[in-house]
Structure 1
Amino acid sequence: MHPEVSVILPYFNAELTLQRAISSILEQSFTNFELLLVNNNSTDKSADIAGQALQNDSRIVLLDENIPGVVNAMNCGLKNARARFISRMDADDVAHPEKLQKQYNYLENNPIIDFLGSEVEYVPHIAENKGFRRFVDWANSFHTPQEIALKQFIEIPAINPTIFFRRELYEKYGGCRDGNFPEDYEMQLRYLSHGTKMAKLPEKLLEWHDYSTRLTRTDERYSTEAFFQTKAAYFKKWSEQHNPFHPNIWIWGAGRKTRQRSAFLQEQGLNIEGYIDIKKTKPDALFYKELPEPGQLFIVSMVTNTGAGEKIREFLIQRNYAEGKDFILMG
């Protein structure tokens, strides 16, 4: 009998945390799953830990992916997964005992939703990173497909080890892609660009452990520039469908960094009609209080300062600009 859920857990030199991660899956209240443990060139005792776990539980499948990188390990898992639903897990995190059951029930009862995340509990293991904490608070703050569609260009909408999705998404639109971009964000933007409805459960179903070795800290594919480059390609497709003035846009933010990042949008064929700024003194930018009535232009906010995007959003909504129709936040 086929399992209902395939849990993919790639690992590389994770001997200190792997047993805990495996146990959190094996102890799930939902039991009809297979756990694919994908060894990605570990040189420590991780493979021994995985082998020991297999002896105690027949739901475990051991896989080896020799080409380095989490992209290749995840794709190895996807190719070998047998279930209707795919769930992702990281070797240094801990799943809540009800995670699989709650996500399985939700997708079974909501056929229009194809891709599901959840909130996370942030567990820092180094001096707490305020940026990570802010990101977690942000990611935990919205849940509906409509909110995700509007916030997709700010940051990755669903934290990767929480995701649970229908296998046909992989069959239709592919798995992880390798490149100079964050692979998990690219995959979510790609699925969304095809009209996938994504939601998140408003419950903390995963402990997200933050170690100094986390890829998002150590890999240049997770730099801010790489994020903007990835967003630009998918924003172009979004703009074609939703921006009444496509390819014309106005950029909110006239600083040097914003102009550099907006070049990624120009490379995609978007035409920047002008820049908007909160300073009246910038001669080549429109002062934000002099914006025209809604319906005359489309604004992309690219300001990344903490809290700035939310303030811009509030200001535009007060001016009767509609999010998704007159403006979108990116950054």
Structure 2
Amino acid sequence: MPVPAVTVLLPARNAETTVAAAVESLLEGTLRDVHVLAVDDGSTDGTRAVLEGLAARDSRVEVLEGGGRGLVAALNLALGRSVSPYVARMDADDEALPRRLEASVAALEAEPELAGVGTGVELFREDQPVSPSFQAYAAWLNGLTSAERLFRERFIESPVCHPSVCLRREAVVAAGGWRHGDFPEDYALWLELMDRGHGMRNVAEVLLRWRDSSQRLTWTDPRYAVRRFTWTKAHYLVRGRGPLADGRPCTVWGAGPSGKTLTRFLREEGATVERFVEVHPRKVGTRIQGIPVVSPDELGPPERERGHLLVCVGVRWAREEIRADLAARGWVEGRDFTCAA
């Protein structure tokens, strides 16, 4: 049997109302040379029967028993069964647009330095409008269409939509696949791949309809809480290709909840945080977590600063103002400072 160009890893649990549309959207795409490994992960509804019906009608679909061990185990089970050079992800309630796999494979074939690509996404839900914050996140993600920009912004938020991604199988296997832990498995994998020297980017074309719902793991599983994302950032900021990997001290711009949480995790990882930078006059001159708080005016030119600056301000417009201010003063993003929220 010929090796398919792409194997799609599709875990499903209690998704009988949506999984057929998800699988069919892949089978009907412009790339026909595809194998769908659908993992029934302990469903108690009719998901298994739907999947078996799809497999009976199309030999490109294979159903695996996941045993209810969770998303990471289901993904690694399917990864271990795949033989294609590329593995793609898909969730059981999303819908791929026709060119999704074709465009993803074309990008990976053209750019061998990439370990994977995501795609542009269109958010949808049927019960209420998608929240403005989630829409803003999708707009940011859809703009990360170069490996350079995605690498530069990798510590702001997870820079790739997990169910849109297509990856080089050998790169994922070498990185250990998806890892179990008290952290977001997808974000950890993206950072691990980039830490190993691989590039990633998003295809500019919108090629996945990404469903939002109140039951998404992003909203219900504690591994995807903001705190666990922050821990993941701290872990990779201080290792490998991270800006603090050489042991330099750092300054954290932002002494709000995000900055304080990141600082706590950085110190647990062995990093030295020398200062907070704050614009709030009541904070300037105080100490937070024993660390002095200074105003932005007290930052010198980058050549006089011995450490690295982490901008940990979650409000997008404020982050852009800080970027512009630092650039005007000669600071270079990636070399002198990194945005981390």
| Residue aligning to 2:289 | none
Shift of 1:300: 0.4
Q: Which moved more, 1:32-41 or 1:121-130?
A: 121-130
Aligned-partner Cα distance in 1 for 2:313–2:36: 41
Amino acid aligned to 2:66:
E
TM-score by length of 2: 0.93
Amino acid aligned to 2:311:
S
| Residue aligning to 1:229 | 231
| Residue aligning to 1:2 | 3
Identity %: 32
User: Does residue 292 of structure 1 match 2:284?
Assistant: no
Shift of 1:279: 2.2
| Residue aligning to 1:134 | 136
| Structure-2 change in CA distance of 1:56 and 1:256 (3 Å) | closer
User: Does residue 324 of structure 1 match 2:328?
Assistant: no
Structure 2 residue corresponding to 1:174, chosen from 147, 153, 176:
176
Query: Secondary structure of the residue that 1:114 maps to in structure 2?
Result: strand
| Residue aligning to 2:167 | 165
User: Does residue 212 of structure 1 match 2:214?
Assistant: yes
| Cα contact 2:234–2:262 (8 A) shared by 1 | no
| Structure-2 change in CA distance of 1:64 and 1:119 (3 Å) | same
Query: Secondary structure of the residue that 2:261 maps to in structure 1?
Result: helix
Shift of 1:310: 2.1
Shift of 1:243: 5.1
| Cα contact 1:239–1:247 (8 A) shared by 2 | no
Aligned-partner Cα distance in 1 for 2:254–2:40: 44
**For 1:9-61, what per-residue CA distance to the aligned partner results, in whole angstroms no more than 9, with x for missing partners?**
11000111111101100101111111100000000111111010011100111
Shift of 1:223: 0.8
Aligned-partner Cα distance in 2 for 1:314–1:48: 55
Aligned-partner Cα distance in 2 for 1:105–1:244: 34
User: Does residue 303 of structure 1 match 2:313?
Assistant: yes
Aligned-partner Cα distance in 2 for 1:29–1:228: 39
Shift of 1:114: 2.1
Aligned-partner Cα distance in 2 for 1:100–1:287: 49
**For 1:129-178, what per-residue CA distance to the aligned partner results, in whole angstroms no more than 9, with x for missing partners?**
22211111111112111111111111111100111111111221111111
Query: Secondary structure of the residue that 2:273 maps to in structure 1?
Result: strand
| Structure-2 change in CA distance of 1:201 and 1:45 (3 Å) | same
Aligned-partner Cα distance in 1 for 2:36–2:326: 47
**For 1:272-330, what per-residue CA distance to the aligned partner results, in whole angstroms no more than 9, with x for missing partners?**
11110112342131111332012214210112234322222122112111000110011
| Cα contact 1:247–1:269 (8 A) shared by 2 | no
1:63-78 equivalences in 2 (<5 Å): 63-78=64-79
Amino acid aligned to 1:60:
V
| Cα contact 1:243–1:326 (8 A) shared by 2 | no
Amino acid aligned to 1:104:
V
Amino acid aligned to 1:308:
A
Aligned-partner Cα distance in 1 for 2:86–2:245: 37
| Residue aligning to 1:246 | 247
Aligned-partner Cα distance in 1 for 2:83–2:223: 30
Amino acid aligned to 2:34:
F
Aligned-partner Cα distance in 1 for 2:152–2:219: 26
Aligned-partner Cα distance in 1 for 2:100–2:55: 22
| Structure-2 change in CA distance of 1:116 and 1:213 (3 Å) | same
| Structure-2 change in CA distance of 1:257 and 1:154 (3 Å) | closer
Shift of 1:247: 2.7
| Structure-2 change in CA distance of 1:273 and 1:3 (3 Å) | same
Amino acid aligned to 2:226:
T
| Cα contact 2:43–2:68 (8 A) shared by 1 | no
| Cα contact 2:121–2:210 (8 A) shared by 1 | yes
Shift of 1:260: 3.2
| Residue aligning to 2:103 | 102
| Residue aligning to 2:203 | 201
Q: Which moved more, 1:298-307 or 1:169-178?
A: 298-307
**For 1:209-266, what per-residue CA distance to the aligned partner results, in whole angstroms no more than 9, with x for missing partners?**
11111110111111111100111111101566x4597330000012355223311001
**For 1:96-130, what per-residue CA distance to the aligned partner results, in whole angstroms no more than 9, with x for missing partners?**
10111111112112222221111101113334222
Structure 1 residue corresponding to 2:151, chosen from 145, 149, 169:
149
**Unaligned residue ranges in structure 1 (runs of 5+):** none
Amino acid aligned to 2:299:
L
Q: Which moved more, 1:179-188 or 1:312-321?
A: 312-321
